[in-house]
Structure 1
Amino acid sequence: SGDAFRQNAWGDAKNTTLARLRADGYAAATWSSTQARVDAPQNRADLAVVLDSGPLYKLGVIRIEGVQRYDARAVTRLSTFKPGDPYSERTLLDFQERLQKVGLYEGASVELDADPQTAGAAPVLVRVKEQTQQQATFGIGYSANTGPRLTVEHTDRRVFGWRAIAKNKFEVGPDNKLWEGELSTYPLESLYRNLISGAASELTVEDQRLAGWNARIGRTQDTPRIERLYFAEFVHARLDGNALTSEADAVSANYHWIYRDLDDVLLPTKGLTTSAQAALGYARGTLSVLNDPIVNDKGPFARLYARLTWYTPFGSNWYGTARVEAGQVFTKSVSGIPDTVLFRAGGDDSVRGYDYRALGPQIAGETVSGRTLLTGSLEIARPISPKYPAYWWAAFVDAGNAADRWTDLKPALGYGVGLRWRSPVGPLKVDLAYGQDVKKVRAHLSVGITF
């Protein structure tokens, strides 16, 4: 009342009202009549609407089309509703998204059979197009952290005829060699999957060679906003430097948790992501420093880590990103802890302006991993031109470090500018950053976002 009458606004209001009603239980809702009487001399418009809501729809059985290679239970177990639940568009869209992400289907659609005659138990129509059982991909890539690489990935979506997916990834580069493997079941009740995974790697950074492997067995759960991972893990790591060598093993119980509330998972501009990790375990190992006696150590440890990223638009076409991460390993000494369990900073997604894993405490003049970690970042970005909304420029400030104790942690500062391409598979970022402590400019290249 009191607002100026505009035909476009009137049409938008009717469409929005009807869409909301149809999305929240009344799938057959329609306008019986709508009327706007305009009295120009009186500067007045009288509005009248009559709505036919139709019946309240409740969800019925799931009908599946397109299943040939893979068990139909892989579809039904990704649903979170049961017959008799009230219909909502969001429920079916979430179901469709899980089908698209499960790794078994090229495409999937979920629709309600909106026949008013079956509103009390409306069938849910699921159409899927299955992926091939065997798939191999080959790639050539580059990372500012580890340099050029060749990648080979293989997926078997029904390994040995089991209701399970096997994945293997091999990555080879001058400074980095990696194998990752995972065997995971098709979805189980309550969106859980059981998994077994392993990895082996060799990384050379700044005259240090880090080699190791790990094995995991656990369970994962993916919901629309929250991911959970519970697992037991065995880790082995060996670090060889010019003046030191460390080698350690650890066994631990772990819990990882990720929460996402974003306007777009691939290209976020508004929202929040949070990840947290906790581990409790036992480790043993040795540390050998040039001209010093070998140190043997063993004992229990606990590990905590958290990361928070906030996205927000502001002003006219300005976008901000803020990130903070912190971690600590609770143990009497680092000598018996695998290097991969401890923390370092520096690199594309940490403190730009510094080499990958270049920030941390020093032993015998060499950078090693520490028990504490704290980093943060502030970034502003804006489209370069209204004609090219997918291309942005950005300016940022990063700070942080890793240390053996909080009292020893002295943040290193990095700042610079960059370009962003908001591609269909995620943002491509190219940055030039100045590391204040090393007084050098470093280029950084990354694709996607980290949770």
Structure 2
Amino acid sequence: MACAEPEPAPAKKTTLITLDAPASIKKLIEQYITFPDQPFADATSQAIFVRRVKREISGLLATEGYFTPEIEFTPAPAPGQPHQLNLVPGPRTRVASLSIEFLGDLADDTPERRARVQKLRDDWPLTPGKVFRSARWEDAKTALLSSVMERDYAAARITESQAQVDPETAQAYLNVVIDSGPAFRFGDLQTTGLERYDLDVLQLKMPFRSGDPYRRDQLLAYQARLQNSPLFNTVAVSIEPDPALHEAVPVDITLIEAHAKRIGAGVGYSSNNGARGEINYRDYNFLGRAWSLGSLLRLEQKRQTFSARVDTLPDANHYHYTFGGRVEMTDIKNLKTFNQRADFSRIRTTANSMMQLGLNWQREERRPAGAPKTVNETLALDFWGRYRNIDDPIYVRNGYVSEMRLGGGTRHVLSERDFIRSYARHMHWWPIGARDTLHLRAEVGYTLASSRQGLPQEYLFRAGGIQSIRGYDFLSLGVREGKAIVGGRTMATGTLEYVRWFTDNWGAAVFADAGDAADRWRDFKLGLGYGGGVRWRSPAGPFALDLARRHDTGTLRFHFSIAVAF
């Protein structure tokens, strides 16, 4: 029998240079210094390498505070053996003294300026006793100058900067002098590219006024507000830090306006309402006043909607007005409705909160299967408040969202019944470990009225489905009327969910939902659903696919959603 000869093992790469140095220093050198991978051609090339490597290593170690290294190169004792490079880094230089001085307006002897100067000195990181490194020195100067410039002193500059190092004592003596220049104040707006809109559109979004002290964060916030507006494609906001203009420095805005009219279309699917197709039209310069007109035609398997709405520009106190109308047909759990609505509201929106006070009129035709058709008409005054404090508006991991609604109407003013409707919801997220999240949701609603009859479904309550009780069909919990499920006057639901993220974008969840909707609290029967699902941080928003089990019947139901509902 013939035996195949074993293949020779790959040749081991020969080490031409052996480096003897402390572990941390050795790792640094191997990261930044290149050693030859071929034998030296002659004594001259070897000498050139020795001079180069000593120079490069000395420069590299100086950035880490080692200014007196001892570097010794020992040639190989015989051909084929490695050369030896021995390194003793020497003592590490530390800061011995520090001097930070200020010139200009900031140096004036007032209590406010003295406190600010002291704060700047206290925040300096490279204090006496700390290891001196070139990178830390440069970062500290940059941070100090930035701190001076962010408030009042847009033209501040470093006029003197010295780091004197004594190699023999391994000590560094630091000196920095900053001239703050004069204190700046905001002046008038100067715009480039504003053609379609009046200057008021820009002034209403300003977080400052002409004459206010200069604040860099306000300038950046102003740019972000304008950039996030649908009126503009690109926006740049800046000032020219000319000391001669410090009393009223112009605010320069360069922008490119977006198209005022836009048409969009989309398709989608949710386990609540089934397949969906929609088309929308937006005009961001309605009536030439920079008002926003939006209209939407949305066709879903269980709901069909056409709506139109006009929003005015927010004023200096963040208030704006909105008015519009909606026509909607639904067919959910054997209840068919045809609803017409008109409303007018005053809304105040800030970065974390929204408050809305509105008046809306509704006319609703109800056709419950197996029960008489009814027509309800209501004029209601409605308050809606919401506050959120979250780490990310799309992929929330830490924080909370709370909201409350309170509204009502009277039979003396275009309503068929006296009623007061109240609703509250709270959602909370807690980070667990490095990636995971624990989520709690709770909601409760109650309509104070002598009967549910005569009230549109919007002022009553049903439960079931996504953002309610999974394991139950969408809006399947409520009051039975004939063969249909209609809204009742009471509702409470809650969710506890844990999401385990295996990667940055993929995770799995386990959850439990509970609650019910009924006409009276004494009719309340707790429904329970629980299960698990998949989570994906998709480009379009959070994606969730859940399999939930209804506890009382054991029925399994899939629920699909994308985006967080606030």
Identify the TM-score tier after normalising by the shorter chain. 0.7 to 0.9
Choose which of 468, 480, 500 in structure 2 pairs with 1:382: 500
Instruction: Encode CA deviations 1:95-125: one digit per residue, 9 max, x unaligned.
Output: 3343244432233333343334333323222
Match of 1:303, as an amino acid? R
Comparing 3-12 with 402-411, which one deviates more in the overlay? Answer: 3-12
Opposite residue 401 of structure 2, the aligned amino acid is T
Report the Cα offset of residue 313 of structure 1. 1.6
Q: How far apart, CA to CA, are the structure 2 residues paired with 1:108 and 1:200?
A: 38
Return closer, same or farther for 1:28/1:325 CA change in 2, 3 Å cut-off: farther
Q: Do residues 139 (structure 1) and 266 (structure 2) align?
A: yes
Equivalent residue number for residue 527 of structure 2 = 412
Contact 1:219/1:230 (<8 A) preserved: yes
Counterpart of 1:205, as a letter, is I
Distance 1:217 1:414, change over 3 A: same
Choose between structure 1 and 2: higher helix proportion: 2
Deviations 1:24-56 (A, max 9, x none): 4444445553759799999x9887655554444
Q: Structure 1 306/24 Cα, relative in aligned 2: closer, same or farther at 3 Å?
A: farther
Q: What is the alpha-carbon distance in structure 2 between the residues aligned to residue 40 and residue 390 of structure 1?
A: 54
CA distance in 2, matches of 1:165, 1:355: 36
- Once the two structures are superposed, the pairs formed by residues 356-367 of structure 1 within 5 Å of their partners are 356-364=474-482, 366-367=484-485
Which segment is superposed worse, 374-383 or 16-25?
16-25
Q: 1:157 aligns with which of 284, 291, 302?
A: 284
Code of the residue aligned with 2:352 in structure 1: it is: R
Taking structure 1 as reference, are residues 36 and 155 closer, same or farther at Cα in structure 2, changes over 3 Å only?
A: farther
- Tell me which amino acid in the other structure corresponds to 2:557: R
Structure with greater strand percent: 1
Question: 5+ unaligned residues in a row in structure 1: which ranges?
Answer: 285-296
Out of 240, 264, 276, the position equivalent to 2:392 is 264
SS of 2:219's equivalent in the other structure is: helix
Change (3 A) 1:161 1:400: same
Is the aligned partner of 1:247 residue 2:375? Answer: yes
1:279 pairs with 2:407: yes
Shift in CA distance, 36/364, structure 1 to aligned 2, threshold 3 Å:
farther
- 1:39 and 1:409, CA in 2 relative to 1: closer, same or farther beyond 3 A? farther
**Does structure 2 retain, via aligned residues, the 8 Å contact 1:309–1:321?**
yes
Secondary structure of the residue aligned to 2:476 is coil
| Pairs within 5 Å for 1:191-210 | 191-210=318-337
Q: Indicate the larger mover: 1-10 or 213-222.
A: 1-10
1:217 is the counterpart of 2:306: no
Deviations along 1:64-121, one digit per CA (max 9) or x if unpaired, are 2221222221121111321122333432343334324443223333334333433332
What is the alpha-carbon root mean square deviation over aligned residues?
3.0
Q: 1:33 to 1:84 in 2, by over 3 A?
A: same
**Which secondary structure state, in structure 2, belongs to the residue aligned with residue 74 of structure 1?**
helix
| Distance of 1:410 and 1:11 partners within structure 2 | 67
Once the 2 structures are TM-superposed, how far is the Cα of residue 199 of structure 1 from its aligned partner? 1.0
Partner of 2:256: 129
Q: Structure 1 length as normaliser, TM-score?
A: 0.85
State which of 264, 288, 300 in structure 2 corresponds to 1:173. Answer: 300
Q: Which residue number in structure 1 is paired with residue 7 of structure 2?
A: none
Q: Which has the higher contact order (CA 8 A, sep 6+)?
A: 1
Query: Is the 2:368–2:483 contact (alpha carbons within 8 Å) kept by the matching residues of 1?
Result: no
Q: Counterparts of 1:40 and 1:424 in 2: how far apart (Å)?
A: 59
Deviation at 1:349, TM superposition (A): 1.7
Q: Which residue of 2 aligns with 1:317?
A: 435
Query: How many residues of Structure 1 are paired with residues of Structure 2 in the alignment?
Result: 435
1:414-442, Cα deviation, whole Å (9 max, x unpaired) = 22222233244432222222222342222
Is 1:34–1:50's contact at 8 Å kept on the other side of the alignment? no
Contact kept, 8 Å, 1:278 with 1:305, in 2: the verdict is: yes
Query: What is the letter of the counterpart of residue 403 of structure 1?
Result: A
The residue type paired with residue 251 of structure 1 is L
456, 461, 469: which is aligned to 1:338?
456
Alignment of 1:2-13 (within 5 A): 5=131
Q: Find the structure with the greater CA-based Rg.
A: 2
Match of 1:57 among 169, 173, 184: 184
| Cα contact 1:5–1:45 (8 A) shared by 2 | no
* 3-state DSSP of counterpart to 1:190: coil
Equivalence for 1:287: none
Q: Measure the CA separation in 2 of the matches of 1:338 and 1:434.
A: 31
Aligned partners of 2:173 and 2:397: how far apart in 1?
39
Identity %: 30
CA contact (8 A) 1:396 1:417 kept: yes
Distance verdict in 2 for CA 1:26–1:450, change over 3 Å: farther
Taking structure 1 as reference, are residues 358 and 19 closer, same or farther at Cα in structure 2, changes over 3 Å only?
A: farther
How far apart, CA to CA, are the structure 1 residues paired with 2:162 and 2:384?
53
Partner AA of 1:147 in structure 2? G
Kindly indicate whether the alpha-carbon contact (under 8 Å) linking 1:266 and 1:425 is maintained by their aligned counterparts in 2: no
Structure 2 distance, partners of 1:19, 1:378, is: 45
**Alignment-derived partner of residue 354 in structure 1:** 472
Q: Residue 237 of structure 1 is aligned with which of 354, 360, 364?
A: 364
Letter in 2 for 1:67: L
**Separation of aligned partners in 1, 2:287 and 2:546:** 45
Query: Partner residue of 2:549?
Result: 434
* 1:266 Cα offset (Å): 2.4
Mapped to 2, the partners of 1:51 and 1:359 lie a distance apart of 69
Q: Post-superposition shift, 1:209?
A: 1.4
For the residues of structure 2 that align with 1:121 and 1:206, how far apart are their CA atoms?
Answer: 65
Cross-structure match for 2:113 = none
- Displacement, 1:335? 0.8
Shift of 1:160: 4.0
Measure how far apart 1:146 and its partner are. 0.6
- 1:92 aligns to what SS in structure 2? helix
Q: Give the aligned residue type for 1:276.
A: M
State the AA in 2 paired with 1:254.
D
TM-score (norm 2): 0.69
